[in-house]
Structure 1
Amino acid sequence: MMPSLFIAHGAPLLAIEDNSYTQFLKSLGSSMPKPAAIVLFSAHWEESAQQVSDVDEFATIYDFGGFPEALYRIKYPAKGNKDVTKEILELFEQHNLTYNVDTKRGLDHGAWVVLRMLYPEADVPVISMSVNPQLPPEEQYKIGQSLASLREKNILIIGSGGTVHNLGAVKMGGNEENVDGWALDFDRWLERHLVNWDLSSLFKYESLAPAAEYAVPPYGKEHFVPLFYAMGAADSQPSAKLLHRSYRYGNLSHSVWQFGELNEGGN
């Protein structure tokens, strides 16, 4: 039984940096049993209809501009897994969820920055999944919930985004020691309600959480909602554990949440 994870992918520069967060992500990958496959919901793949990848080998997408050349030389040639894709489609059909199959799209940086830290050899098959920030949180949660049985087959489900991700508020000179109070207030509220698995409050975060309009601005909801997909995948084992939290640029959060428990014995 694998847990599901929510992992902040931060700014693209994270891919070539060496700091406490990148070190944590690298250690996280080596601390868990290697999964049979990874199902990853990326904030950088927005679609109104749920997309499911069916790709033999992924191209690497550089969905950013103005960064050092080293970033554009990175390749992450992960392979897909048609059997897992087929199982996802069957689960969606069982739960009356609509979907489209995508056979061409590569991995965006919301996916490969995280995956490259966890599994640098690109030796774990990946099924890439879109998110729809316009869906109510309850519906995002249900999509993740429909995939819960995959965890019993040593498949790791990841939501990649960020709990506090407001590009209009970041301070490029900011650091972890000087974090905006509103970002801390939002993440602390979120922590309380995640640990208590308080879905009724979490689904109303926009009206209940302090500084929600700054932490999750309307144009940045796509980075927050992967949390609900990952959380839903652990609905039958409702436990939430904060594995890491740090900040860059004054308020950009690097949070990693584990939902459900890792059970290496298979019981």
Structure 2
Amino acid sequence: MIPSYFIAHGAPSLALEQNEYTAFLKQLASELPKPRAIVLFSAHWESREQQISGAESYDTIYDFSGFQKELYEVQYPASGDSAIASEIQDLLRQENIAAGIDTVRGLDHGAWVVLRLLYPAADIPVIALSVNRHLSNAEQYRIGKALSSLREKHILMIGSGGTVHNLRRLEWGGSSRVNDWALQFDSWLEDKLTAWDLEALFQYDRLAPFAREAVPTPEHFIPLLLAMGTGDPNRRASLSHRSYQYGSLSLSCWKFE
């Protein structure tokens, strides 16, 4: 069974950077058997009903502003897989989770920044999925759990977001110092994830130190719970990488087996 992952996508400019995190992601792909397809939950695709991409091919969406012009020239011409999209819809419906198929939306940067670092050839079919910030944390986990059987079919499951992701607290000057509040939140999170403590994780916004600073809005945290849910059969979580940019932006990768 192929592992699933939560992967932080950082700032859009990560796609053009060379640092320890981008090197890690490039190496990670080389260590995995090539998947049949990739199913990716993106923090930058929000909807009130679960959406599944059924597109046969994708445009590249530049859903950001103010970055270097080279970033707006990046293309990630991945293909889709409508059969797997329908299979995902069926799996969700079996658990009474409503889901629709979107045949027109392209790939946002939450998807292509990560995918371009992992698989730059864009030669693996991608099925993108939305996130819904209006669900409970337990419901987020249940969506991931409903799709856990896809891992047995050699499909790579990814949640793309960020554990500490507060744009208002970023220090753009490039300081190497990491803010203590960000470290404390991620440390708490590491303890609960490795212990698979769902009771605590589902209440992270009340129990974790500096949760409000780390997660001012939930859409970037939700993919972590979705990815964790895909690992429910075995319940093994391990931290593969963690580094920081701009004082607090967490670049972390969690593996679920």
Bin of the TM-score, shorter chain as denominator length: over 0.9
8 Å CA contact retained: 2:59, 2:107? yes
What's the counterpart of residue 134 of structure 1?
Answer: 134
Cα deviation, residue 66, structure 1: 1.2
Cα deviation, residue 27, structure 1: 0.6
Question: Which amino acid in structure 1 is aligned with residue 254 of structure 2?
Answer: W
Question: Which amino acid in structure 1 is aligned with residue 252 of structure 2?
Answer: S
1:217-251: CA deviation from partner (whole Å, max 9, x where unpaired): 1xx31001100100001101100000000000000
1:55-95: CA deviation from partner (whole Å, max 9, x where unpaired): 01110000001111100110001000122111111111211
Hey, what's the Cα distance between the residues in 2 that align with 1:185 and 1:93? 38
Hey, what's the Cα distance between the residues in 2 that align with 1:99 and 1:52? 7
What's the counterpart of residue 83 of structure 1?
Answer: 83
- Structure 1 SS opposite 2:167: coil
Hey, what's the Cα distance between the residues in 2 that align with 1:174 and 1:221? 26
What's the counterpart of residue 209 of structure 1?
Answer: 208
1:23-73: CA deviation from partner (whole Å, max 9, x where unpaired): 111111111011000110000001110000100111000000111110011
- Structure 1 SS opposite 2:116: helix
What's the counterpart of residue 184 of structure 1?
Answer: 183
TM-score by length of structure 2 reads: 0.99
What's the counterpart of residue 105 of structure 1?
Answer: 105
Paired residue for 2:237, among 234, 240, 243? 240
1:178-198: CA deviation from partner (whole Å, max 9, x where unpaired): 100000000000000000000
1:137-164: CA deviation from partner (whole Å, max 9, x where unpaired): 1000000000010000000110000000
Flag as ranges the 4+ runs of structure 1 deviating above 2 A.
Answer: none
TM-score by length of structure 1 reads: 0.95
Hey, what's the Cα distance between the residues in 1 that align with 2:39 and 2:137? 19
Hey, what's the Cα distance between the residues in 2 that align with 1:27 and 1:194? 24
What's the counterpart of residue 55 of structure 1?
Answer: 55
What's the counterpart of residue 148 of structure 1?
Answer: 148
2:188 matches 1:221: no
- Structure 2 SS opposite 1:133: coil
Cα deviation, residue 174, structure 1: 3.8
Counterparts of residues 117-128 of structure 1 (less than 5 Å): 117-128=117-128
What's the counterpart of residue 39 of structure 2?
Answer: 39
2:252 matches 1:252: no
8 Å CA contact retained: 2:89, 2:100? no
What's the counterpart of residue 4 of structure 1?
Answer: 4
Hey, what's the Cα distance between the residues in 2 that align with 1:199 and 1:89? 25
What's the counterpart of residue 265 of structure 1?
Answer: none
Question: Which amino acid in structure 2 is aligned with residue 40 of structure 1?
Answer: L
Any stretches of 5+ residues in structure 1 without a counterpart?
Answer: 261-267
What's the counterpart of residue 263 of structure 1?
Answer: none
Hey, what's the Cα distance between the residues in 2 that align with 1:171 and 1:67? 16
- Structure 1 SS opposite 2:151: helix
What's the counterpart of residue 158 of structure 2?
Answer: 158
Report the RMSD for the aligned CA atoms in angstroms: 0.7
Hey, what's the Cα distance between the residues in 2 that align with 1:7 and 1:116? 13
Any stretches of 5+ residues in structure 2 without a counterpart?
Answer: none
Q: Aligned residues, how many?
A: 257
1:166-212: CA deviation from partner (whole Å, max 9, x where unpaired): 0000000244x410000000000000000000000000001100000
Counterparts of residues 160-175 of structure 1 (less than 5 Å): 160-175=160-175
